[in-house]
Chains A and B, each alone.
Chain A
Amino acid sequence: MSNQFAASRSAVRGKDLPGRRWRKASPLALGVALILVLFYSIIFVIPFGVSIWLSFQNWDFIDNPVYVGLANYGQALADPSFLHALRVTVEFSVAEIFLAVVLALLVALPLSRLKGAPQQVLLLAYYLPVIMPVIVSILLWEWLLYLPSGGVLNALLQNLGLPTQPFLNSPTEALWCIIVMVVWSYLGNSIVLSLAGINDVPESLLEAARLDGAGFVQQCRFIILPLLQPVLVYIVVTSVIGTVQMFEQFFLMSGPGNSTRNLAVYTYQLGFQSLNLGYGAAVSLIMFLMLLIATVFQVRRFQQSLTY
Protein backbone atom coordinates (compact mmCIF):
# COMPACT_ATOMS: atom_id res chain seq x y z
CA MET A 1 0.00 0.00 0.00
CA SER A 2 2.73 2.46 0.93
CA ASN A 3 4.51 2.24 -2.39
CA GLN A 4 1.24 2.44 -4.31
CA PHE A 5 2.31 5.39 -6.40
CA ALA A 6 5.72 4.01 -7.21
CA ALA A 7 3.92 0.89 -8.37
CA SER A 8 1.44 2.84 -10.43
CA ARG A 9 4.23 4.69 -12.17
CA SER A 10 6.09 1.56 -13.09
CA ALA A 11 2.83 -0.02 -14.20
CA VAL A 12 2.30 2.86 -16.59
CA ARG A 13 5.62 2.01 -18.16
CA GLY A 14 4.28 -1.51 -18.63
CA LYS A 15 6.83 -3.33 -16.46
CA ASP A 16 4.27 -5.06 -14.26
CA LEU A 17 2.50 -8.26 -15.02
CA PRO A 18 -1.29 -8.06 -15.10
CA GLY A 19 -1.61 -10.27 -12.03
CA ARG A 20 0.48 -7.91 -9.95
CA ARG A 21 -1.61 -4.98 -11.10
CA TRP A 22 -4.70 -6.66 -9.71
CA ARG A 23 -3.05 -7.33 -6.37
CA LYS A 24 -1.58 -3.84 -6.13
CA ALA A 25 -4.79 -2.03 -7.11
CA SER A 26 -6.42 -0.17 -4.23
CA PRO A 27 -9.94 -1.11 -3.14
CA LEU A 28 -11.06 2.48 -3.78
CA ALA A 29 -9.90 2.39 -7.40
CA LEU A 30 -11.50 -0.99 -8.02
CA GLY A 31 -14.74 0.12 -6.38
CA VAL A 32 -14.97 3.30 -8.47
CA ALA A 33 -14.06 1.38 -11.62
CA LEU A 34 -16.75 -1.19 -10.92
CA ILE A 35 -19.43 1.45 -10.33
CA LEU A 36 -18.45 3.33 -13.48
CA VAL A 37 -18.48 0.17 -15.58
CA LEU A 38 -21.92 -0.67 -14.21
CA PHE A 39 -23.19 2.85 -14.80
CA TYR A 40 -21.95 3.08 -18.37
CA SER A 41 -23.30 -0.37 -19.13
CA ILE A 42 -26.79 0.72 -18.13
CA ILE A 43 -26.91 4.16 -19.67
CA PHE A 44 -24.59 3.64 -22.65
CA VAL A 45 -23.48 0.16 -23.70
CA ILE A 46 -26.86 -1.55 -23.48
CA PRO A 47 -28.86 1.28 -25.08
CA PHE A 48 -26.28 1.63 -27.85
CA GLY A 49 -26.36 -2.11 -28.47
CA VAL A 50 -30.16 -2.13 -28.42
CA SER A 51 -30.15 0.79 -30.85
CA ILE A 52 -27.99 -1.13 -33.33
CA TRP A 53 -30.10 -4.27 -32.89
CA LEU A 54 -33.34 -2.29 -33.30
CA SER A 55 -32.12 -0.73 -36.52
CA PHE A 56 -32.30 -4.18 -38.13
CA GLN A 57 -35.85 -4.81 -36.90
CA ASN A 58 -39.36 -3.59 -37.52
CA TRP A 59 -41.03 -2.97 -34.23
CA ASP A 60 -44.08 -0.95 -33.13
CA PHE A 61 -43.75 -1.44 -29.33
CA ILE A 62 -46.61 -3.98 -29.37
CA ASP A 63 -46.06 -6.99 -31.66
CA ASN A 64 -42.83 -8.96 -31.67
CA PRO A 65 -39.94 -7.33 -33.54
CA VAL A 66 -39.38 -8.66 -37.07
CA TYR A 67 -35.87 -8.92 -38.49
CA VAL A 68 -35.62 -6.94 -41.72
CA GLY A 69 -31.86 -6.75 -42.32
CA LEU A 70 -30.68 -3.49 -43.83
CA ALA A 71 -34.15 -2.49 -45.03
CA ASN A 72 -34.43 0.40 -42.55
CA TYR A 73 -31.20 1.93 -43.82
CA GLY A 74 -32.32 1.48 -47.40
CA GLN A 75 -35.62 3.11 -46.58
CA ALA A 76 -33.88 6.14 -45.11
CA LEU A 77 -31.93 6.83 -48.30
CA ALA A 78 -35.16 6.91 -50.31
CA ASP A 79 -37.29 8.68 -47.72
CA PRO A 80 -38.00 12.33 -48.66
CA SER A 81 -38.86 13.14 -45.02
CA PHE A 82 -35.48 11.86 -43.88
CA LEU A 83 -33.61 13.71 -46.61
CA HIS A 84 -35.50 16.89 -45.81
CA ALA A 85 -34.74 16.57 -42.10
CA LEU A 86 -31.10 15.99 -43.00
CA ARG A 87 -31.06 19.13 -45.13
CA VAL A 88 -32.65 21.19 -42.35
CA THR A 89 -30.06 19.89 -39.87
CA VAL A 90 -27.09 20.64 -42.11
CA GLU A 91 -28.36 24.05 -43.26
CA PHE A 92 -29.03 25.04 -39.68
CA SER A 93 -25.60 23.93 -38.44
CA VAL A 94 -23.67 25.64 -41.22
CA ALA A 95 -25.57 28.93 -41.00
CA GLU A 96 -25.61 29.06 -37.21
CA ILE A 97 -21.90 28.31 -36.81
CA PHE A 98 -20.83 30.68 -39.59
CA LEU A 99 -22.85 33.56 -38.12
CA ALA A 100 -21.79 32.80 -34.55
CA VAL A 101 -18.06 32.69 -35.35
CA VAL A 102 -18.09 35.84 -37.50
CA LEU A 103 -20.15 37.86 -35.02
CA ALA A 104 -18.14 36.61 -32.05
CA LEU A 105 -14.89 37.74 -33.71
CA LEU A 106 -16.38 41.10 -34.66
CA VAL A 107 -17.23 41.68 -31.01
CA ALA A 108 -14.28 39.97 -29.30
CA LEU A 109 -11.51 41.70 -31.29
CA PRO A 110 -12.46 45.27 -30.28
CA LEU A 111 -13.50 44.02 -26.86
CA SER A 112 -9.95 42.84 -26.24
CA ARG A 113 -8.82 46.48 -26.46
CA LEU A 114 -10.89 47.31 -23.39
CA LYS A 115 -9.69 46.33 -19.95
CA GLY A 116 -11.13 45.99 -16.48
CA ALA A 117 -14.66 46.88 -15.48
CA PRO A 118 -15.99 48.02 -18.90
CA GLN A 119 -14.94 44.71 -20.45
CA GLN A 120 -16.49 42.74 -17.60
CA VAL A 121 -19.80 44.58 -17.79
CA LEU A 122 -20.09 44.00 -21.53
CA LEU A 123 -19.16 40.33 -21.16
CA LEU A 124 -21.86 39.81 -18.56
CA ALA A 125 -24.43 41.43 -20.85
CA TYR A 126 -23.38 39.23 -23.81
CA TYR A 127 -23.51 36.19 -21.59
CA LEU A 128 -27.00 36.79 -20.22
CA PRO A 129 -28.83 34.99 -23.07
CA VAL A 130 -26.57 31.95 -22.60
CA ILE A 131 -27.61 31.44 -19.00
CA MET A 132 -31.30 32.00 -19.67
CA PRO A 133 -33.21 28.71 -19.66
CA VAL A 134 -33.67 27.51 -23.25
CA ILE A 135 -37.42 27.21 -22.82
CA VAL A 136 -37.60 30.88 -21.80
CA SER A 137 -35.65 31.97 -24.87
CA ILE A 138 -38.00 29.97 -27.04
CA LEU A 139 -41.18 31.44 -25.57
CA LEU A 140 -39.67 34.92 -25.58
CA TRP A 141 -38.81 34.80 -29.30
CA GLU A 142 -41.86 32.89 -30.43
CA TRP A 143 -44.52 34.87 -28.57
CA LEU A 144 -43.05 38.32 -28.06
CA LEU A 145 -40.58 38.97 -30.87
CA TYR A 146 -41.69 36.84 -33.83
CA LEU A 147 -45.43 37.24 -33.33
CA PRO A 148 -46.63 38.45 -36.77
CA SER A 149 -49.26 40.79 -35.34
CA GLY A 150 -48.46 42.50 -32.06
CA GLY A 151 -44.84 41.24 -32.04
CA VAL A 152 -41.88 43.47 -31.32
CA LEU A 153 -39.93 42.76 -34.53
CA ASN A 154 -42.80 43.59 -36.85
CA ALA A 155 -43.49 46.78 -34.89
CA LEU A 156 -39.83 47.66 -35.39
CA LEU A 157 -40.00 46.92 -39.12
CA GLN A 158 -43.12 49.05 -39.41
CA ASN A 159 -41.46 51.97 -37.66
CA LEU A 160 -38.57 51.71 -40.12
CA GLY A 161 -41.04 51.71 -43.00
CA LEU A 162 -40.19 48.14 -44.02
CA PRO A 163 -42.70 45.42 -44.94
CA THR A 164 -43.79 43.22 -42.02
CA GLN A 165 -42.84 39.54 -42.08
CA PRO A 166 -44.74 36.32 -41.29
CA PHE A 167 -41.66 34.93 -39.48
CA LEU A 168 -42.50 31.49 -38.05
CA ASN A 169 -45.66 31.25 -40.15
CA SER A 170 -43.67 31.17 -43.36
CA PRO A 171 -42.07 27.90 -44.48
CA THR A 172 -39.11 29.78 -45.93
CA GLU A 173 -38.47 32.12 -43.00
CA ALA A 174 -39.11 29.76 -40.10
CA LEU A 175 -35.71 28.07 -40.19
CA TRP A 176 -33.97 31.45 -40.27
CA CYS A 177 -36.01 32.52 -37.29
CA ILE A 178 -34.64 29.57 -35.33
CA ILE A 179 -31.11 30.28 -36.57
CA VAL A 180 -31.26 33.90 -35.40
CA MET A 181 -32.65 32.88 -32.02
CA VAL A 182 -29.95 30.25 -31.48
CA VAL A 183 -27.18 32.62 -32.57
CA TRP A 184 -28.49 35.15 -30.05
CA SER A 185 -28.69 32.46 -27.35
CA TYR A 186 -25.14 31.18 -27.60
CA LEU A 187 -23.20 34.13 -29.01
CA GLY A 188 -21.93 35.09 -25.55
CA ASN A 189 -20.27 31.74 -25.25
CA SER A 190 -18.29 32.12 -28.48
CA ILE A 191 -17.37 35.68 -27.51
CA VAL A 192 -15.94 34.61 -24.15
CA LEU A 193 -13.96 31.77 -25.74
CA SER A 194 -12.60 34.00 -28.51
CA LEU A 195 -11.67 36.68 -26.01
CA ALA A 196 -9.78 34.16 -23.88
CA GLY A 197 -7.91 33.10 -27.02
CA ILE A 198 -7.11 36.68 -28.01
CA ASN A 199 -5.82 37.44 -24.51
CA ASP A 200 -3.43 34.50 -24.86
CA VAL A 201 -1.71 36.12 -27.84
CA PRO A 202 1.70 37.30 -26.56
CA GLU A 203 1.81 41.06 -26.25
CA SER A 204 5.41 41.04 -27.54
CA LEU A 205 4.25 39.81 -30.95
CA LEU A 206 1.72 42.64 -31.25
CA GLU A 207 4.33 45.12 -30.04
CA ALA A 208 6.76 43.94 -32.73
CA ALA A 209 4.06 44.23 -35.38
CA ARG A 210 3.23 47.74 -34.19
CA LEU A 211 6.89 48.74 -34.47
CA ASP A 212 6.82 47.46 -38.03
CA GLY A 213 3.90 49.78 -38.66
CA ALA A 214 1.02 47.31 -38.62
CA GLY A 215 -2.36 48.84 -37.81
CA PHE A 216 -4.97 47.10 -35.69
CA VAL A 217 -6.64 45.46 -38.69
CA GLN A 218 -3.29 44.08 -39.89
CA GLN A 219 -2.47 42.83 -36.40
CA CYS A 220 -5.78 40.97 -36.39
CA ARG A 221 -5.32 39.61 -39.88
CA PHE A 222 -1.71 38.41 -39.60
CA ILE A 223 -1.15 37.67 -35.92
CA ILE A 224 -4.30 37.31 -33.84
CA LEU A 225 -6.47 35.32 -36.27
CA PRO A 226 -3.82 32.71 -37.16
CA LEU A 227 -3.01 32.19 -33.47
CA LEU A 228 -6.72 31.99 -32.70
CA GLN A 229 -7.18 28.96 -34.95
CA PRO A 230 -7.20 26.33 -32.17
CA VAL A 231 -9.92 28.24 -30.33
CA LEU A 232 -11.98 28.61 -33.50
CA VAL A 233 -11.67 24.90 -34.26
CA TYR A 234 -12.78 24.17 -30.72
CA ILE A 235 -15.82 26.44 -31.13
CA VAL A 236 -16.73 24.86 -34.47
CA VAL A 237 -16.37 21.25 -33.26
CA THR A 238 -18.42 21.78 -30.10
CA SER A 239 -21.00 23.80 -32.07
CA VAL A 240 -21.41 21.05 -34.67
CA ILE A 241 -22.06 18.53 -31.91
CA GLY A 242 -24.44 20.93 -30.16
CA THR A 243 -26.43 22.16 -33.17
CA VAL A 244 -26.94 18.78 -34.81
CA GLN A 245 -28.56 17.49 -31.61
CA MET A 246 -30.72 20.53 -30.89
CA PHE A 247 -34.23 19.42 -30.09
CA GLU A 248 -36.56 21.72 -28.19
CA GLN A 249 -35.84 24.78 -30.33
CA PHE A 250 -37.17 22.85 -33.34
CA PHE A 251 -39.79 20.89 -31.46
CA LEU A 252 -41.45 23.93 -29.85
CA MET A 253 -40.77 26.67 -32.43
CA SER A 254 -41.69 24.65 -35.47
CA GLY A 255 -42.60 26.38 -38.71
CA PRO A 256 -45.53 25.30 -40.92
CA GLY A 257 -45.63 21.63 -41.93
CA ASN A 258 -42.25 19.97 -41.82
CA SER A 259 -40.32 23.08 -42.83
CA THR A 260 -38.18 23.07 -39.68
CA ARG A 261 -38.20 19.39 -38.78
CA ASN A 262 -34.59 18.34 -38.13
CA LEU A 263 -33.18 14.86 -37.54
CA ALA A 264 -33.56 15.08 -33.77
CA VAL A 265 -37.26 15.89 -34.00
CA TYR A 266 -37.77 13.32 -36.76
CA THR A 267 -36.19 10.60 -34.59
CA TYR A 268 -38.40 11.59 -31.68
CA GLN A 269 -41.51 11.44 -33.85
CA LEU A 270 -40.57 8.06 -35.30
CA GLY A 271 -39.91 6.65 -31.84
CA PHE A 272 -42.66 8.10 -29.71
CA GLN A 273 -45.38 9.28 -32.09
CA SER A 274 -45.53 6.95 -35.08
CA LEU A 275 -44.00 4.10 -33.00
CA ASN A 276 -41.68 3.04 -35.80
CA LEU A 277 -38.83 2.14 -33.45
CA GLY A 278 -36.62 0.20 -35.84
CA TYR A 279 -36.61 2.94 -38.44
CA GLY A 280 -36.13 5.58 -35.75
CA ALA A 281 -33.07 3.73 -34.48
CA ALA A 282 -31.64 3.50 -38.01
CA VAL A 283 -32.14 7.25 -38.57
CA SER A 284 -30.49 8.10 -35.25
CA LEU A 285 -27.53 5.84 -36.04
CA ILE A 286 -27.03 7.45 -39.45
CA MET A 287 -27.01 10.77 -37.63
CA PHE A 288 -24.37 9.49 -35.20
CA LEU A 289 -22.16 8.23 -38.04
CA MET A 290 -22.33 11.56 -39.85
CA LEU A 291 -21.50 13.44 -36.66
CA LEU A 292 -18.57 11.12 -36.02
CA ILE A 293 -17.19 11.56 -39.54
CA ALA A 294 -17.62 15.35 -39.37
CA THR A 295 -15.82 15.57 -36.04
CA VAL A 296 -12.96 13.28 -36.98
CA PHE A 297 -12.55 15.16 -40.24
CA GLN A 298 -12.40 18.54 -38.49
CA VAL A 299 -9.96 17.36 -35.84
CA ARG A 300 -7.73 15.74 -38.48
CA ARG A 301 -7.62 18.87 -40.56
CA PHE A 302 -6.86 20.85 -37.46
CA GLN A 303 -3.96 18.59 -36.51
CA GLN A 304 -2.56 18.84 -40.04
CA SER A 305 -2.74 22.62 -39.90
CA LEU A 306 -0.79 22.57 -36.64
CA THR A 307 2.12 20.60 -38.03
CA TYR A 308 3.61 23.29 -40.24
Chain B
Amino acid sequence: MSTTTSTRNRQETASTWRSPGKWLPVAIFVVLGIVAIAMVYPFLWLVISSFKTSADIVTPPVQFFPRRWTFEGYRYVWEQTSLPRAYLNSVVLSAAIVISVLFTSSLGGFVFARLDFPGRDAIFYFILATTMVPFITLFIPLYLVMQHIGLVNTYWGVWLPAAVSSFGIFLCRQFIYGVPQDLYDAGKMDGCGDWANYVRITLPLIKPVLAAQAIFSFLSSFNLYLWPLVILHDQQLYTLPLILAQISQTQGINYEAMMTGSVLTSIPSLVVFIIFQRNFVRGIALTGLKA
Protein backbone atom coordinates (compact mmCIF):
# COMPACT_ATOMS: atom_id res chain seq x y z
CA MET B 1 0.00 0.00 0.00
CA SER B 2 2.82 2.32 0.85
CA THR B 3 4.22 1.79 -2.64
CA THR B 4 1.00 2.89 -4.32
CA THR B 5 0.81 6.09 -2.29
CA SER B 6 4.40 6.89 -3.07
CA THR B 7 3.83 6.40 -6.81
CA ARG B 8 0.79 8.61 -6.66
CA ASN B 9 2.83 11.21 -4.82
CA ARG B 10 5.48 11.05 -7.46
CA GLN B 11 2.92 11.51 -10.22
CA GLU B 12 1.52 14.49 -8.43
CA THR B 13 4.99 15.93 -8.09
CA ALA B 14 5.68 15.44 -11.76
CA SER B 15 2.48 17.16 -12.81
CA THR B 16 3.00 20.08 -10.49
CA TRP B 17 6.45 20.72 -11.95
CA ARG B 18 4.69 21.34 -15.23
CA SER B 19 1.94 23.52 -13.84
CA PRO B 20 3.19 24.69 -10.46
CA GLY B 21 0.60 24.03 -7.81
CA LYS B 22 0.07 26.07 -4.73
CA TRP B 23 2.10 23.99 -2.32
CA LEU B 24 5.23 23.62 -4.44
CA PRO B 25 6.61 27.11 -3.69
CA VAL B 26 5.87 26.45 -0.04
CA ALA B 27 7.87 23.22 -0.13
CA ILE B 28 10.77 24.98 -1.87
CA PHE B 29 10.60 27.79 0.66
CA VAL B 30 10.74 25.37 3.56
CA VAL B 31 13.74 23.45 2.21
CA LEU B 32 15.64 26.58 1.20
CA GLY B 33 14.64 28.16 4.49
CA ILE B 34 16.36 25.34 6.37
CA VAL B 35 19.49 26.00 4.30
CA ALA B 36 19.20 29.71 5.12
CA ILE B 37 18.90 29.04 8.84
CA ALA B 38 21.94 26.76 8.69
CA MET B 39 23.92 29.57 7.07
CA VAL B 40 22.82 32.27 9.51
CA TYR B 41 23.06 30.00 12.55
CA PRO B 42 26.83 30.45 13.16
CA PHE B 43 26.31 34.19 13.30
CA LEU B 44 23.46 33.84 15.81
CA TRP B 45 25.71 31.62 17.87
CA LEU B 46 28.38 34.32 17.81
CA VAL B 47 25.96 37.02 18.95
CA ILE B 48 24.59 34.86 21.78
CA SER B 49 28.11 33.85 22.81
CA SER B 50 29.09 37.47 23.26
CA PHE B 51 26.77 37.48 26.29
CA LYS B 52 28.42 34.42 27.85
CA THR B 53 31.41 34.18 30.14
CA SER B 54 34.58 32.63 28.69
CA ALA B 55 34.10 29.48 30.75
CA ASP B 56 30.50 29.24 29.61
CA ILE B 57 31.54 29.44 25.95
CA VAL B 58 33.92 26.47 25.95
CA THR B 59 32.69 24.23 28.74
CA PRO B 60 30.94 21.10 27.47
CA PRO B 61 28.10 20.37 27.15
CA VAL B 62 27.80 23.14 24.60
CA GLN B 63 24.52 24.99 24.78
CA PHE B 64 23.03 27.79 22.74
CA PHE B 65 21.73 30.06 25.51
CA PRO B 66 24.06 31.46 28.17
CA ARG B 67 24.00 29.81 31.58
CA ARG B 68 24.38 33.32 32.92
CA TRP B 69 23.88 36.50 30.86
CA THR B 70 26.78 38.91 31.14
CA PHE B 71 28.02 42.10 29.52
CA GLU B 72 31.48 41.59 30.97
CA GLY B 73 33.02 40.99 27.52
CA TYR B 74 31.70 44.28 26.18
CA ARG B 75 32.96 46.19 29.19
CA TYR B 76 36.33 44.48 28.88
CA VAL B 77 36.98 45.20 25.18
CA TRP B 78 35.81 48.77 25.59
CA GLU B 79 38.01 49.51 28.58
CA GLN B 80 40.96 47.13 28.39
CA THR B 81 41.78 46.80 24.68
CA SER B 82 42.57 49.24 21.87
CA LEU B 83 39.36 48.26 20.13
CA PRO B 84 37.63 51.67 20.49
CA ARG B 85 40.57 53.43 18.92
CA ALA B 86 40.77 50.76 16.19
CA TYR B 87 37.07 51.35 15.53
CA LEU B 88 37.71 54.99 14.85
CA ASN B 89 40.75 54.17 12.70
CA SER B 90 38.79 51.69 10.60
CA VAL B 91 35.78 53.90 10.06
CA VAL B 92 37.85 56.95 9.09
CA LEU B 93 40.10 54.94 6.76
CA SER B 94 37.19 53.16 5.08
CA ALA B 95 35.33 56.44 4.61
CA ALA B 96 38.42 58.03 3.05
CA ILE B 97 38.85 55.07 0.70
CA VAL B 98 35.18 55.03 -0.32
CA ILE B 99 35.16 58.75 -1.08
CA SER B 100 38.33 58.67 -3.16
CA VAL B 101 37.26 55.52 -5.00
CA LEU B 102 33.88 56.98 -5.91
CA PHE B 103 35.42 60.23 -7.09
CA THR B 104 38.24 58.70 -9.13
CA SER B 105 36.05 55.95 -10.61
CA SER B 106 33.35 58.32 -11.80
CA LEU B 107 35.73 60.99 -13.05
CA GLY B 108 38.07 58.44 -14.64
CA GLY B 109 35.13 56.63 -16.21
CA PHE B 110 33.82 59.91 -17.62
CA VAL B 111 37.19 60.95 -19.02
CA PHE B 112 37.82 57.57 -20.67
CA ALA B 113 34.30 57.28 -22.06
CA ARG B 114 33.62 60.82 -23.24
CA LEU B 115 36.79 62.84 -23.66
CA ASP B 116 39.68 62.42 -26.02
CA PHE B 117 43.38 62.78 -25.41
CA PRO B 118 46.55 61.19 -26.75
CA GLY B 119 47.13 57.71 -25.38
CA ARG B 120 43.62 57.39 -23.95
CA ASP B 121 42.98 53.81 -24.97
CA ALA B 122 46.50 52.71 -24.10
CA ILE B 123 46.17 54.11 -20.58
CA PHE B 124 42.72 52.61 -20.13
CA TYR B 125 43.72 49.11 -21.17
CA PHE B 126 46.82 49.37 -19.05
CA ILE B 127 44.69 50.20 -16.00
CA LEU B 128 42.48 47.23 -16.82
CA ALA B 129 45.52 44.98 -17.13
CA THR B 130 46.77 45.92 -13.65
CA THR B 131 43.85 44.02 -12.15
CA MET B 132 45.48 40.80 -13.39
CA VAL B 133 48.45 41.13 -11.06
CA PRO B 134 47.73 39.78 -7.57
CA PHE B 135 48.46 42.07 -4.64
CA ILE B 136 50.74 39.36 -3.22
CA THR B 137 53.14 39.96 -6.12
CA LEU B 138 53.30 43.68 -5.39
CA PHE B 139 53.21 44.12 -1.67
CA ILE B 140 56.89 43.56 -0.81
CA PRO B 141 58.21 46.08 -3.37
CA LEU B 142 55.25 48.36 -2.63
CA TYR B 143 56.43 48.43 0.97
CA LEU B 144 59.89 49.46 -0.25
CA VAL B 145 58.36 52.26 -2.36
CA MET B 146 56.31 53.47 0.60
CA GLN B 147 59.45 53.43 2.72
CA HIS B 148 61.14 55.56 0.09
CA ILE B 149 58.42 58.20 0.03
CA GLY B 150 58.01 58.13 3.81
CA LEU B 151 54.51 56.71 4.07
CA VAL B 152 55.33 53.64 6.18
CA ASN B 153 53.39 53.63 9.44
CA THR B 154 50.92 56.29 8.29
CA TYR B 155 47.25 56.26 7.30
CA TRP B 156 48.28 57.74 3.94
CA GLY B 157 50.31 54.62 3.30
CA VAL B 158 47.29 52.40 3.95
CA TRP B 159 45.00 54.63 1.93
CA LEU B 160 47.12 55.26 -1.17
CA PRO B 161 47.10 51.81 -2.85
CA ALA B 162 43.34 51.56 -2.25
CA ALA B 163 42.52 55.14 -3.29
CA VAL B 164 41.82 54.29 -6.92
CA SER B 165 39.93 51.22 -8.08
CA SER B 166 40.82 49.95 -11.55
CA PHE B 167 37.69 47.88 -11.64
CA GLY B 168 35.65 50.92 -10.57
CA ILE B 169 36.99 53.01 -13.44
CA PHE B 170 36.16 50.20 -15.85
CA LEU B 171 32.65 49.83 -14.47
CA CYS B 172 31.86 53.55 -14.60
CA ARG B 173 33.22 53.81 -18.12
CA GLN B 174 30.90 51.04 -19.27
CA PHE B 175 27.97 52.81 -17.66
CA ILE B 176 28.80 56.23 -19.04
CA TYR B 177 28.92 54.72 -22.53
CA GLY B 178 25.24 53.97 -21.97
CA VAL B 179 24.40 57.64 -21.35
CA PRO B 180 23.04 59.08 -24.64
CA GLN B 181 25.51 61.38 -26.39
CA ASP B 182 22.60 63.77 -27.08
CA LEU B 183 22.50 64.71 -23.40
CA TYR B 184 26.11 65.82 -23.58
CA ASP B 185 25.56 67.67 -26.84
CA ALA B 186 22.60 69.47 -25.22
CA GLY B 187 24.83 70.31 -22.28
CA LYS B 188 27.39 71.79 -24.66
CA MET B 189 24.68 73.94 -26.25
CA ASP B 190 23.82 75.30 -22.82
CA GLY B 191 27.43 76.17 -22.27
CA CYS B 192 28.56 73.27 -20.06
CA GLY B 193 32.27 72.64 -20.02
CA ASP B 194 33.75 69.18 -19.40
CA TRP B 195 33.59 69.60 -15.65
CA ALA B 196 29.93 70.67 -15.71
CA ASN B 197 29.19 67.75 -18.01
CA TYR B 198 30.71 65.46 -15.40
CA VAL B 199 29.02 66.99 -12.35
CA ARG B 200 25.60 67.90 -13.75
CA ILE B 201 24.96 65.21 -16.34
CA THR B 202 27.11 62.19 -15.58
CA LEU B 203 26.99 61.96 -11.79
CA PRO B 204 23.18 62.03 -11.40
CA LEU B 205 22.79 59.39 -14.09
CA ILE B 206 25.27 56.87 -12.73
CA LYS B 207 24.00 56.99 -9.15
CA PRO B 208 22.97 53.30 -9.08
CA VAL B 209 26.40 52.07 -10.06
CA LEU B 210 28.03 54.46 -7.59
CA ALA B 211 25.74 53.23 -4.80
CA ALA B 212 26.74 49.63 -5.50
CA GLN B 213 30.38 50.60 -5.62
CA ALA B 214 30.17 52.52 -2.36
CA ILE B 215 28.88 49.43 -0.60
CA PHE B 216 31.48 47.06 -1.96
CA SER B 217 34.35 49.43 -1.53
CA PHE B 218 33.31 50.03 2.08
CA LEU B 219 33.13 46.31 2.82
CA SER B 220 36.46 45.53 1.19
CA SER B 221 38.32 48.44 2.78
CA PHE B 222 36.86 47.50 6.16
CA ASN B 223 38.29 44.01 5.57
CA LEU B 224 41.82 45.07 4.62
CA TYR B 225 44.25 42.93 6.59
CA LEU B 226 47.54 42.13 4.85
CA TRP B 227 48.46 45.65 3.74
CA PRO B 228 47.75 47.43 7.06
CA LEU B 229 49.55 44.57 8.83
CA VAL B 230 52.63 45.18 6.73
CA ILE B 231 52.69 48.96 6.67
CA LEU B 232 51.46 49.92 10.15
CA HIS B 233 53.89 49.37 13.02
CA ASP B 234 52.28 51.57 15.63
CA GLN B 235 49.55 49.87 17.70
CA GLN B 236 47.71 53.18 17.91
CA LEU B 237 47.13 53.14 14.15
CA TYR B 238 45.91 49.53 13.94
CA THR B 239 42.56 48.88 12.27
CA LEU B 240 39.82 46.59 13.59
CA PRO B 241 40.88 43.37 11.82
CA LEU B 242 44.43 43.75 13.14
CA ILE B 243 43.31 44.41 16.71
CA LEU B 244 40.82 41.56 16.61
CA ALA B 245 43.44 39.16 15.29
CA GLN B 246 45.74 40.33 18.05
CA ILE B 247 43.12 39.72 20.73
CA SER B 248 42.72 36.18 19.42
CA GLN B 249 46.45 35.52 19.47
CA THR B 250 47.37 36.81 22.91
CA GLN B 251 48.29 34.37 25.61
CA GLY B 252 45.45 32.85 27.62
CA ILE B 253 42.72 33.13 25.02
CA ASN B 254 39.98 35.47 26.13
CA TYR B 255 36.85 34.11 24.48
CA GLU B 256 34.59 36.82 25.79
CA ALA B 257 36.73 39.57 24.34
CA MET B 258 36.99 37.75 21.03
CA MET B 259 33.23 37.27 20.66
CA THR B 260 32.24 40.75 21.78
CA GLY B 261 34.96 42.26 19.60
CA SER B 262 33.64 40.25 16.64
CA VAL B 263 30.07 41.40 17.21
CA LEU B 264 31.17 45.04 17.48
CA THR B 265 33.28 44.70 14.34
CA SER B 266 30.32 43.31 12.37
CA ILE B 267 28.04 46.23 13.21
CA PRO B 268 29.18 48.78 10.57
CA SER B 269 28.96 46.20 7.78
CA LEU B 270 25.56 45.06 9.01
CA VAL B 271 24.29 48.64 9.14
CA VAL B 272 25.48 49.27 5.57
CA PHE B 273 23.90 45.99 4.52
CA ILE B 274 20.53 46.79 6.11
CA ILE B 275 20.37 50.34 4.77
CA PHE B 276 21.34 49.39 1.24
CA GLN B 277 19.91 45.86 1.00
CA ARG B 278 17.89 46.79 -2.06
CA ASN B 279 20.96 48.08 -3.86
CA PHE B 280 22.93 45.06 -2.72
CA VAL B 281 21.31 42.40 -4.79
CA ARG B 282 21.06 44.69 -7.79
CA GLY B 283 24.63 45.80 -7.22
CA ILE B 284 26.05 42.29 -7.26
CA ALA B 285 24.21 41.46 -10.44
CA LEU B 286 25.58 44.73 -11.81
CA THR B 287 29.19 44.48 -10.79
CA GLY B 288 29.81 40.80 -10.27
CA LEU B 289 31.61 41.76 -7.07
CA LYS B 290 34.73 40.33 -5.59
CA ALA B 291 34.25 41.06 -1.94
Contacts and interface: CB of A to CB of B under 8 A. Distances in A.
Interface of A: 1-2, 4-5, 7-8, 11-12, 18, 21-22, 24-26, 28-30, 32-33, 36-37, 39-40, 42-44, 46-51, 54, 107, 110-111, 113-114, 118, 120-136, 139-145, 147, 149-152, 155, 184, 186-189, 192-193, 196, 210, 213, 215-217, 234, 238, 241-242, 244-245, 247-248, 251-252, 263-264, 267-268, 271-272, 277, 280-281, 284-285, 287-288, 291-292, 295
B137 interface: yes
A110 B161 CA distance: 42
Interface stretch (B65-73, B76-84, B203-211, B220-228): B220-228
23 contacts: A7-B116, A25-B115, A26-B194, A32-B108, A36-B127, A48-B133, A48-B141, A111-B28, A126-B35, A126-B36, A131-B219, A131-B269, A133-B222, A135-B241, A136-B265, A149-B58, A149-B60, A150-B58, A213-B18, A234-B288, A252-B248, A268-B136, A285-B137
B1 interface: no
A118 B29 contact: yes
A174 to B, nearest CB: 17
Given A29-B116, A147-B58, A196-B285, A122 B33 contact: yes
A272 B229 CA distance: 11
B281 A123 contact: yes
Nearest to B164: A39
* Secondary structure dominating the interface of A: helix
Contacts of A193: 284-285, 288
Given A22-B118, A125-B39, A131-B219, A210 B46 contact: no
B20 A113 contact: yes
Given A2-B188, A131-B219, A188-B39, 17 more contacts: A4-B115, A36-B127, A40-B127, A44-B133, A47-B138, A122-B36, A129-B43, A131-B273, A133-B241, A134-B241, A140-B43, A140-B45, A143-B253, A193-B284, A210-B18, A241-B290, A267-B136
B114 interface: yes
B96 interface: no
A-B residue pairs, 10 tightest by C-beta? A8-B116, A150-B58, A50-B141, A125-B36, A25-B117, A196-B285, A155-B62, A29-B115, A47-B141, A135-B241
